[in-house]
Structure 1
Amino acid sequence: MTAVATSVEGFRRQAPRPARLLLHAFLALVSLGWLAPLALAVYASLRPYHETAEDGYFSLPRTLTLHYYASAWRDAELTKYFLNSLLIAVPGVVLTLFLASFVAFAITRVRLRFGVPLLVLFTAGNLLPPQIIVVPLYELFKRVPLPASMSDSLTLYDSYWGVIAIHVAFQTGFCVFVLANYMRTVPYEITEAARVDGAGVWLQYWRVILPLCRPALAALGTLEFTWMYNDFLWALVLMSTGDKMPVTSALNNLRGQFFTDYNLLAAGAVIVALPTMVVFFALQRQFIAGLTLGSSKG
């Protein structure tokens, strides 16, 4: 009888509650809502345009082909534009994480007198809508000189440096906020022990704190790469040379003057989205670990 009672009690504990079932159902619906546009784009990219024009996008396919992917890659010159996006996103992510981690280290470990107001200032910078400073930045970038080896226009305008700089400026505040809150969870005794062993500020940052922040850095790196890679506004405003544009602008090459093949455009959009998916799956474990930081103790 005791064994039976114990098994019944264990079943009751393991049985899902209605609230949890409702939560899982809600999360499943939200996930499907986010995946539906991507699934429809992939489905449309595999069908000829005349078929979807006759039967509609939600009809059963008569023909499935990868022809549009080859055409999108060739017609949009995606190889060149992929390289342009990487020249902007990779240095932007590295600089943002380096500056943000160093500022967060200074705020949380060096114990600056104005550390908290400085953190509030960096966080408040994220509340500024970027659209309201488009015109001032456009005029400023045309007046900031650069040597010919760094910019063909001899100014910050129409150069990769300008787009990288604006991404770093806007994203550093968010990264400082996240990293500072994570670094506060690292015991102070660790840096005090390193200081007793003779480690300076740089060694404390580079050899002690930064390795412990790897999950947070991986999560932020994934998000920042996605945001910078998918950006279209700043490249459109701060660049004028078409060959320097990022890959998000290459999709315009697939739009005709009088007619647009949306199945071809869908294939191009799927190809453009692949690098962000590769980055996410490559850093998936660290990304999830970074999202769950502080969710449990002990």
Structure 2
Amino acid sequence: MFPTPIEKKSRSYQMAYQGLLPVVLVMWLLPLIAVAVFSIRPDSDFTNGNYWGVPSSFNFFENYGKVFFESDMPRYLLNSVFITVPTVLGTIALSSMTGFALGIYKFKGNLLIFFMFIAGNFVPFQILMVPVRDLTVNMNLYDTKTGLILFHIAFQTGFCTLFMRNFIRALPFPLIEAARVEGVREWQIFLYVVLPLMKPALAALAVLIFTFIWNDYFWAVVLTQGPDAQPVTAGITAFNSQYRAAYHLMSAGSIVAALPPVLMFFLMQKHFIAGLTLGAVK
């Protein structure tokens, strides 16, 4: 039923595995390595067609200096922070409460409401492009950070509710019954009994949603334009001019934009892994 561990395979199989693993790893990292090398190339390498050769010079400080001090990249980064952080907080708050309601209370229509949350995850987001854009225009939320925040919260709450509801249903129900016997109110049960037990799940969900929202490009282009509201993923395209693209600056900006999610993961790694594996071993 389960694959045989590599330690129990034949010696020839193990050697083939050990030889192919570094090759596959390099192939997987090749695009990232290319972007990192592009970010330190001079502009002349691209005009001369030297894309994959040895850089004629290493312009690390020059390229990254232009990204930080001669462009709107700091503003785009702040926009991403102002969009991502409220979205994560709002999504987790809403999904925690809806997950608590759907996971603890038994009422008519519980499964129907739960399936409605799940159904939203199966709708291709490209289909929603035109109606969502028209809705933001009619509500005067187009090209605003508030519009992006509200849309992301609405779109991510379905997945987060599924995650939270299933996690809460796995908690020991006698704890809640004991609190009710003691006369504790329902909102106090949620805040002081259930919520502390949900910390691993909250941490795992926060890392996932932070990564999803920070790396979003599609809705950033559809719902915003210009440095007033665009996040960093869409702002990187500002390095393109009418007739040519500044690949070295775009690559440097991409590296800068990728650092916050990586940092977020390493800071929350312990809680993230605990949240994903909680309940896997009895």
Same fold (TM over 0.5): yes
Query: Equivalent residue for 1:123?
Result: 118
Does 2:32 align with 1:38? yes
Q: 1:174 aligns with which of 142, 154, 159?
A: 159
Distance 1:69 1:245 in 2: 20
Does 2:170 align with 1:192? no
Does 2:266 align with 1:281? yes
Count of aligned pairs between the two proteins:
274
Distance 1:63 1:110 in 2: 65
Q: 1:213 aligns with which of 198, 207, 211?
A: 198
Which structure: larger Rg?
1
TM-score if structure 1 supplies the norm length? 0.82
Structure 2 spans left out of the alignment, 5+ residues = none
Query: Equivalent residue for 1:9?
Result: none
Distance 1:26 1:127, change over 3 A: farther
- Corresponding residue SS for 2:126: helix
Structure 1 spans left out of the alignment, 5+ residues = 1-13, 145-154
Q: 1:201 aligns with which of 174, 186, 191?
A: 186
Alignment-mate amino acid for residue 210 of structure 1 = L
Distance 2:175 2:120 in 1: 31
What whole-Å deviation, never above 9, does each CA across 1:243-267 have from its counterpart, x for those lacking one? 2211112212211222223122111
Does 2:93 align with 1:102? no
Query: Equivalent residue for 1:137?
Result: 132
Distance 2:20 2:191 in 1: 42
TM-score if structure 2 supplies the norm length? 0.87
| Aligned ranges 1:53-68 → 2 under 5 Å | 56-61=50-55, 63-66=57-60, 67-68=62-63
Report how far residue 30 of structure 1 moved: 5.9
What whole-Å deviation, never above 9, does each CA across 1:171-204 have from its counterpart, x for those lacking one? 1111111111111211101111222222211111
Distance 1:139 1:260, change over 3 A: closer
1:75·1:253 contact (CA, 8 Å) conserved in 2? no
* Superposition CA RMSD, Å: 2.6
Distance 2:41 2:220 in 1: 32
What whole-Å deviation, never above 9, does each CA across 1:142-194 have from its counterpart, x for those lacking one? 223xxxxxxxxxx2333222211110111111111111111121110111122
Does 2:248 align with 1:257? no
1:232·1:249 contact (CA, 8 Å) conserved in 2? yes
Distance 1:24 1:192 in 2: 53
Does 2:81 align with 1:90? no
Distance 2:90 2:21 in 1: 35
